[in-house]
Amino acid sequence: MAPHVPRSLAGQAAALMFGIVLVIVVLGGALAALDARRDGDDTARERVEAIASSLAAAPSTATAIQSGDPTVALQPVTEKVRHDTQIAFITIMSPEGTRYTHTDPSLIGQTYLGTTEPALRGETFSEVFTGTLGPSIRAVAPVHASDGRIVGLVSAGITQQTLAENWYAQLPLILLVAATAALAAVVGMWLVRRRLMRQTGGLSPRDLRVMYEHHDAVLHSISEGLVVVEVDRAVLINDEARRLLAVTDAVPIEMRSLPAFLADAEGLNGDGPEDPNVKDEVRVTKDRVLVVNRAPVAMGQRSAADVVTIRDRTELQGALGELDSMKVFAESLRSQAHEAANRLHTIVALVEMGRGDEAVRFATTELELSQRLVDRLTASVQEPALVALLLGKSAQAAERGIVLTVTDDTHLGADELDRELGGVLTPTEMVTVVGNLVDNALDACDKDDPWVEVTVRQDDAALRIVVADSGSGMDAVTFEQARRRGYSTKEGGVEGRRGLGLALVAQVVQRHGGRLTAEVTYGSVVAVTIDRGVAARRPS
Mean pLDDT of the 381-407 span: 83
pLDDT of residue 44: 82
* pLDDT per position as a tens digit, 140-179: 999 998 888 898 999 998 887 877 777 677 778 878 888 8
Planar angle of CA 37, 43, 44, nearest 5 degrees:
90
Higher-confidence position of 368 and 294: 294
pLDDT of residue 526: 92
pLDDT of residue 142: 93
* Residue percentage of the chain with pLDDT more than 90: 5
* pLDDT per position as a tens digit, 443-483: 889 888 899 999 998 887 888 999 999 988 888 888 887 77
Q: Residue 192's pLDDT band (boundaries 50, 70, 90)?
A: confident
Does pLDDT of 132 surpass 80? no
Write out the H or E segment, with its range, that includes residue 125.
strand 125-131
Q: What span, in angstroms and rounded, lies between the C-alpha atoms of 121 and 386?
A: 122
pTM: 0.48
Q: Residue 495's pLDDT band (boundaries 50, 70, 90)?
A: very low
Does pLDDT of 414 surpass 70? no
The domains found in the chain, sorted by start residue, are 9-166 (3.30.450.20), 222-312 (3.30.450.20), 316-536 (3.30.565.10)
Q: What span, in angstroms and rounded, lies between the C-alpha atoms of 284 and 269?
A: 13
Residue 281 main-chain phi, psi, to 5 deg: -80, 135
* pLDDT per position as a tens digit, 55-102: 888 888 888 888 878 888 888 988 898 888 888 888 899 888 888 898
Q: Residue 271's pLDDT band (boundaries 50, 70, 90)?
A: very low
pLDDT of residue 455: 92
Q: What is the dihedral of CA 72, 73, 79, 85, to 10 degrees?
A: -170
pLDDT of residue 493: 39
Does pLDDT of 300 surpass 70? no
